[in-house]
Structure 1
């Protein structure tokens, strides 16, 4: 029967210890202020309840009131331990007589526990401190028994009591420790989740707002993740790309090289690889990207995915082309100046002697043809010199309309002979700009001559002038010639590139240079067999400054 009473007491003691721990696990709040005081009070109440539930057998009373005292001392220190101990003493004094041994024994236990706590608090864990306090309590209990001669002839009574207290401390310590360990695990997991969530949020923020394309690719070349930038840069929404083979949007010329690289990475032959790939925009045009691929290893140490980060390098390639063009022009300019000067001197001598020889020998065959070819060589050398030699720009207030009329009047006799009509359309009466008149005349003359030469069967050339909202004058020249293929338009204006059989490409190049000096721009649009449109924009006088 006493075993059953022990079990009931220990069960109630376990419940009293577990209840606040369980409640605490469901409460997300800051720790209580003066927690030592509140825990000491609760421990005291537990001691009172344990005394009230004491086991009575054969005239003896068994309780485990010192179990909460030992545990509170071990986990919370002397302040909370003293409060619990006072409650345990008071209930002991109220429940039975023989006060002197109880008071003296209590005071001795409190003193020794306090000294022990000061000595071992930083050397042991709370669980080990509980064991130390329990051992000390057993020693003091035996000492008090023999000092006050309390039932020394009843060893079974004392043995049962000591085992009762021992079981209480062990069960209470294990409950507290297991809950604390569980609480630490939950806290660490929550902290880890918060850290992961914060980290994921940062990576999501980067992925959602970067202009680079971030993609996770599987072994079948399909993507399992596409960053939102794919829609911004390539025009595809996420659902249009997910599960789709990446090769379907890669330029066919780059596909073999791309597949070879990915296969090597999945075979662990390459760790990080960078290559230039052209991706197809949803509208159909190609965009150049520099793609960096990084393998992601699985737990089996094989490559499971490849993370591919691609950056649009279209602007960089344009800048490189401009830089290359600039360097090319610089070299060509130096070369042209030297060649032109070296050619011009002997050319002048040959031309002079040929003219004299023709006058003296009228029957010479092909003399005029030779002079025409020499004139052409002289024209080319003049263009080379004008390209290479910096020209001093003299800006004066000029009406663009007047310059175009002058050029049209100059070319009209030639156009009449080959059945070409020059039609003009002016939205305003005057288009004043600051410019070098002779240089702009050269530009208009060159462009109109190109248009005329593109129409060997005759036709119409439309010349229009209008003011634009941004304070610029737009000069548009539309011909009905043979047109220019799209893939060749970007090369117009490059030195020594011409679509004409005997062209040098220097004329348009000089036009580009002059327009740039006047802070303007020149653009081309053309369709094969339909004609070419050239648009020149120059700032009006009011915006120059």
Structure 2
């Protein structure tokens, strides 16, 4: 069987998944892999950088607060017992405000300058509550001008002294925008002032920016390293994927091609692909060998009606070669259309066509072909085309004709023998009576034997009449029949012929059937009479009428009589076969012919001494003979 490579259609193959909008401009696997990997790397690096920057700002501020408060505690401890010790010997003491400020500035400025010098950028100083003045602010070279100044009423330092609680603020003060740590000076249970240590926010911001820069540089370095690693890895991976892609492309036309071995997981994928290709090649070879050896013709088409496969038997049947028909429309090749083609009808409707018998002409010869077509489906159950199987039954039909002719001759011989047997007995009796009467002169003898001769002649006439009825059945008169009423009427007629009990059981709701009323009445009556005759000592005959399936009804005649011997069951419908001394053997043969004419079936079940059941199954609707179709 030969088939071309399948051509992709508009509705074939798996639909490609659409890429996210961000990745649509990236056409190659490597580009998408690099972009995706970098995106995956960039997100955590950026998140870590943001977290580090945020935490770094918090840490810097916390560290500054701790440092500034440590400096204020140093200033507080360096002050000793308080400001009073620094004013000893001052004329006027505290009342001399200017002198007190000058004395405290002289004593404390070296201390604040030393501490400020130990940490450049930090400003420190003392504020005396009693004098309401700044007495020192280091480094003094920059802030000596503030000595003697009072702080505003809303200055945070006043809140520190009032609440006796350290406080740190950020805002614009004497030095400008600063982070200012203020610590209350408490001596002997009283707050006598406060000390501060501050640093400009510009310096803090510079430090933070330096740390931000370090984080940025580190993140950029990590991103660069990741980019290099992704680039190298993607290059290797894309080259290996290209090997797989090119190998698969080659396999489309030649399944014998193998993909070169690779490493790691892709190597396992390649091994699996090569294994599947070999299995597919073996399966294809097996299928082709099987179809090539099949005696029946097989033709397959795709959804467009284009021939995709044809086996040698079909080539011989159509007198074509695969090269002539593959890839071409089926209807144009064989000059047919869907109305006369089982294959195209199946392709169009999706319904299988089974056992369509037609004649196919090839030159001067005519072939009898049985065509059966069905839908081809893919692994997901979607239709992909249709296939037709063509069986040349010409030789079979010829042999069947010969067998039927032989059967008819045999049946004719049996019929002739049966007729001869049935006619010979009355003729022998008539001949004997006539020979006897030929030598007898008594009128009484003639009167006595004359009726016997007439009875034998009537028997001959009865046999001839049944032969005529069996050999020339009248045309059926088909009409809608209420089979229940017909069964009741037949049972009523049969009851008058015997003392046997005849019962009728009819299933309600049965439909009327198509049939010949008189013929069916004769068939049922014959069955009932046969059942009665099987009850020599009286008995029971049951007639049942019921639905057999969706479109058939069954008539069962059951008796409890003598039954039929097993060796005779296969002969009960043969003409002139009878186990009764006075029977002609045509009754059941006539019943069988009537049932056949109605498209039904008849069966017999019997046990010797237990009774017999005869069942007729009749279709509700008679089906017309199907017209012949072109198998193509």
TM over 0.5: no
Higher relative contact order, structure no. (Cα contacts within 8 Å, ≥ 6 residues apart): 2
More strand per residue: 2
For Structure 1 versus Structure 2, the TM-score category normalised by the shorter chain is: 0.3 to 0.5
More helix per residue: 1
Q: For the pair shown, which has the larger CA radius of gyration, 1 or 2? A: 2
Q: TM-score normalized by structure 1?
A: 0.36
